[in-house]
Structure formats: structure tokens, C-alpha cells
Structure 1
Amino acid sequence: MEVILAETAGFCMGVDLALTKLDSLVARANGRPIYILGPIIHNPQVLKKYAELGVIIAEKPEEVPDGTYLVIRAHGITRQVEAELAERDIIIKDATCPRVKKAQLLIARHTRKGEELLLYGEADHPEVKGLVSYAEDGHFLFESAEELASYPLVKDKSYVLAAQTTQDRALFDAMTQELAGDPTLDIVVLNTICDATKLRQREAKSLSSEVDFMVVVGGFNSGNTRRLAQVAMDNGTPCKHVETVADLDLDELTFYERVGVTAGASTPRHLIDEVLSALEKM
């Protein structure tokens, strides 16, 4: 069996920065409790590691006691929660991905005159909740081209179209082209999809066309990882999304000659290496 690893598999810049900040804080906290408002990234194995180091995940701001450190997760938080925390006796360490922060500020800038935000993203995703909080005057959140097409756009109103940073670039571009075909609509399109996301998806599409089977490694709750698996399947290649090598049924892969491996932006290298090692031993 030939095993081919995608060049960009694993941590992106934003995840790497967030974990570097958290590691630095853990090393010098001197006993002061460290809280994170929600998981710092979407990877269960990483979260387990930090839990063992004493890092506490709080689901709500009120669960964070005064006098503690609070790390803002890589996905960011809402503008309202950030303002609330700034009034507290808490030492805040912002680990928001720079790409997410840029998207937040772009949305705020382009909706300040009352433009309505049209956001392509997952309703329950923490990044999306943060992004829509920066829209000054209302928003419409959609998860598919069909939902956007069914939304009644008013011709004398201004809109801003943006996307969650980890969304599928090809689908977003198709929706953009569809709206651009109507000259009566006043729409500004923001480029908020991360370059790392675009590159990973492009590589997943290319690699899946060269192999007989694809393995995508990363958290089951990671949106960008799930989309890599979807890209491979949409390309007509059988694909398995696993969190760890334990989720991989090696017997299932016996008859495949070439297997491609990629991983989400929040997947640690050691998990990728374990999958590679198991495949290469076959």
C-alpha cells in the first residue's frame, strides 16, 4: 500500500498561536486558576491534555471566578461577552485566531451604516455566534445555497455577504456569483474564508483524485475537518473521518492500493503520525 500525506495536514497558524499562548500561560500561572470560555479548539485529545494540566473549561462567563486567568478561545467570543468580561476582575488572554478577529472587524466596519449581514455558516458554531454579534443592524444566517436563494432580498436595501472562516470556498464563490448576476442588488462581499482553509480543501480535492481511499484525521466536532471529508467524498472518493487511529478499521482498507491522508486545522501531529504508522505497516 502506498500512503500519501497532504502537505498542509494538521495545525493551522491560528490554532498554533492559540495553543502557544495557552502553553505559555500554563508555564507561568504560579497557581492562579486558568479558565477557557468554551473549548480552545475542537479536538478532544488536546482538551484532555489541558484538563490534566488543570485548565478549566467554562461554558458561561458567570462560571469564571474573579481573580483568575481567562483565555479567549481560538474561535473568538461575542462582542457583548467580551465587553462584559472587560468589566470583571479577570486577567484576559485573547487567543482568538487572527483570521477570525479580522473577519469580526470587517463585519463591524461594513455594517455600521445599517447594512444587513448575510452570513454563510453553522448556526451552533461559536465562531459564527461571535461573527454575527459584530453586525450592527441585523443578520441572516444560512447553511446552504438553497436557504440563501429562499431569502427575500430587498432591492432598495444594502447587504454584506460573508462566511465563517472555515466554510467551503467553492460553494461560497458559487453563491457570490449567483448574487452578482442581479445588478439591482446592493451587496458587498467580504473575503473572510481563511487561506489555510482554502488550501487544505484544495489539497484534499487534488489528493482524493489521485488515491483510492482517503482518511481524514481530526475531531468529529471540528467543522473544518468535516468539510475536508466532504470535499473528498464529493470528489467521488471513499473516505473515512477518524479522531484517532483507534477509529480506523484497517481490514476495510486491505484492498486499496493508494491511500491519502489529511487532517483538520486543529489536529495534533502525533495523531496524524499514529494513523500514518498504522497504514504504512499494512
Structure 2
Amino acid sequence: MKVIRAETAGFCMGVELALKKLDLLLEERSGKGPIYILGPIIHNPQVLAEYAAKGVITAKSPEDIPAGASVVIRAHGVPKDIEERLRRRDVTIVDATCPKVKKAQVLIARSTAEGRKLLLYGEESHPEVKGLLSYAAAGAHVFDDRAALFGMLAKDEKYCLASQTTQDLVTFEALAGELGELPEVDLVVLNTICDATKLRQDEATSVADEVALMVVVGGFNSGNTRRLVQVVASRMIPCLHVETVEALPLEEISRFDCVGLTAGASTPKKMIDEVEACLKRL
């Protein structure tokens, strides 16, 4: 079986930075008290299980973290009020928010401070989106499709349009273009989609055009991984989303002679390597 692997499959810069900060803290704080993460540091259950085995505790709120502990703010960031509550506690804080997410927070805060209402393209329940919304000073709407967006517009409002950093750039730009053609809409468009997301999606479509089947590796709770699956599916070829090599339906895959492989930005290299090796053995 021929396997074509996307070059940038796996960890993005933001994920690598976050995990390096956690690893360094584990090294520095060994035997000096508990280490917490405020929510999952990245969306990969296998990685989280590895850190739990090292003694890292996942907290749901600042109040779950005892005085004297060390806490890492996850790569997706947290809402402003959560961060403020955390800073009022006697804990050591390591901020591992992705720099691209930080940039989006700053742009949204700056633009909405001028009185513009935020239109945010993203998943309302996603932790990054919840954090971004907290920086909107003049109110905000979240939407995940065109109908929802155009159904929330008001004539006398000023808007800024932004996106969750892992959303599809092509779709976002198309929506921005449509809004920009409406003379009654006072709009500023913010560039908040991560370049790494666009690169991975472009590579996924490129590989998909060369193969008979695509395999996408990554957490089922990972937004950017799910969007890779959606991007591949748009090329009208079969696509399998698996978290681990054990989940591969080998009998089904063996019917194909050329398979493409990519992975979400929170998927470790070793997990992608395992899937690739398994596919090549078929």
C-alpha cells in the first residue's frame, strides 16, 4: 500500500509551546507540590492521560486549585474573568495560551473598545471561543454558518468580524466578502485565523486529490482535527477519523491501494508514526 503523509501533520507551534512550558514546570517543580492545568491543555485525550500519569491534575475552575500550587493556562486560553479569579489566588501561574489566540484576544478587545459588536465565526461551546468572547467590550454574536450570520445583523450596528483561530479561512473570507458588499453594514474584518491551520487544510486537500482514501488522526474533541475531516470530505473521497492506531478498520482500509494521512495540530508525532507504519504493513 502506498501512503502519502502530509508534511505538517501534527503539533502546531502553539501546542508545542504549551507542552514545553508544562514539561519545564514538571522538571522545575518535581517534588515541590502539585501541578494543575486549568482545563485540558490541548485537545488530545492520550496526551492528557500521559500527563495525568505524571501527576498533573486537571482543574475545572480556579477555586479547585489550592494555594501554593502551580497552574498552567491551556493553549486555548481562558475567559478574562477566569484569569482574574486565578490571579487573586496564591498560586504560581504559567500562561501557555497560544500566541495566535493571544493576538486574536488583543485584536477583538481593541476593535470592540470602539463600540463595535463582535461577530465571531466559531463553535460556541469551544473553550477558545468562550475566551475570545470575554474580550468583546460591546457585545457579541457567535455563528457557525451563513444563515445564522445574516440572521443576526441589525442596520444601525457597527460590527467587527473575527474567527476562532482554527476555522476554515476560505469560508471565512467568503462570508467577509458578502458582508463587505452590503452598504448598510459598517464592518471591520479582523485576521484571526492561524496560518498553520490554513497550511494544514491546504495540504490535506492536496493529498486528498492524490489518494483513494484519507485517514485523519486526532482527538474527536479537537476542533481543528474535525475541520480537517470536513475539508477532506469536501473533496468527495472517503475519510476516516481515528484517535489511535488501534482504531483503524484494517479490513476496510486494505481495499485501497493509495491512502493519504494527516493529523490535527494537537496530535503527537509518535501517534502519526504508528498509524503510518500500520498502513504501510497492509
Cα deviation code 1:119-177 (max 9, x no counterpart): 001011000000000000110011111110211x2333210000000011111111111
Aligned residue type for 1:132: L
Aligned residue type for 2:74: R
Secondary structure class of the residue paired with 2:24: helix
* Counterpart in the other structure of 2:188: 188
Aligned residue type for 1:3: V
State the distance in 1 between where 2:166 and 2:203 align: 15
State the distance in 2 between where 1:149 and 1:257 align: 44
* Counterpart in the other structure of 1:66: 67
Aligned-residue offset at 1:210: 1.0
State the distance in 1 between where 2:235 and 2:170 align: 13
Aligned-residue offset at 1:108: 0.3
State the distance in 1 between where 2:145 and 2:66 align: 40
Aligned residue type for 2:105: Q
User: Counterparts of 1:51-90 in structure 2 under 5 Å?
Assistant: 51-90=52-91
User: Counterparts of 1:103-118 in structure 2 under 5 Å?
Assistant: 103-118=104-119
Which runs of at least 4 in structure 1 moved beyond 3 Å after TM superposition?
A: none
Aligned residue type for 1:250: L
Secondary structure class of the residue paired with 1:166: coil
User: Counterparts of 1:248-259 in structure 2 under 5 Å?
Assistant: 248-259=248-259
Q: Which runs of 5 or more structure 2 residues have no equivalent in the other structure?
A: none
Secondary structure class of the residue paired with 1:182: coil
Cα deviation code 1:93-120 (max 9, x no counterpart): 0000000000001000000022100000
State the distance in 1 between where 2:183 and 2:206 align: 35
Aligned residue type for 1:134: Y
State the distance in 2 between where 1:207 and 1:179 align: 32
State the distance in 2 between where 1:94 and 1:56 align: 16
User: Counterparts of 1:126-205 in structure 2 under 5 Å?
Assistant: 126-151=127-152, 153-205=153-205
* Counterpart in the other structure of 1:277: 277
State the distance in 2 between where 1:204 and 1:130 align: 28
State the distance in 2 between where 1:137 and 1:108 align: 9
Identity over aligned residues, as a percent?
Answer: 60
* Counterpart in the other structure of 1:119: 120
Secondary structure class of the residue paired with 2:259: strand
Aligned residue type for 1:149: F
Aligned: 1:3 with 2:3: yes
State the distance in 1 between where 2:147 and 2:252 align: 36
Secondary structure class of the residue paired with 1:113: coil
Aligned residue type for 2:234: D
State the distance in 2 between where 1:20 and 1:252 align: 38
* Counterpart in the other structure of 2:221: 221
Q: Which runs of 5 or more structure 1 residues have no equivalent in the other structure?
A: none
Aligned-residue offset at 1:64: 0.8
Q: How many residues align?
A: 281
**TM-score using structure 1 length:** 0.98
Aligned residue type for 1:238: P
Aligned: 1:241 with 2:236: no
State the distance in 2 between where 1:6 and 1:107 align: 32
Aligned residue type for 1:142: F
Secondary structure class of the residue paired with 1:104: helix
State the distance in 2 between where 1:155 and 1:230 align: 33
**TM-score using structure 2 length:** 0.98
Aligned-residue offset at 1:46: 0.3
State the distance in 2 between where 1:266 and 1:64 align: 25
Aligned-residue offset at 1:30: 3.3
Aligned-residue offset at 1:22: 0.3
State the distance in 1 between where 2:75 and 2:179 align: 31
State the distance in 2 between where 1:28 and 1:185 align: 52
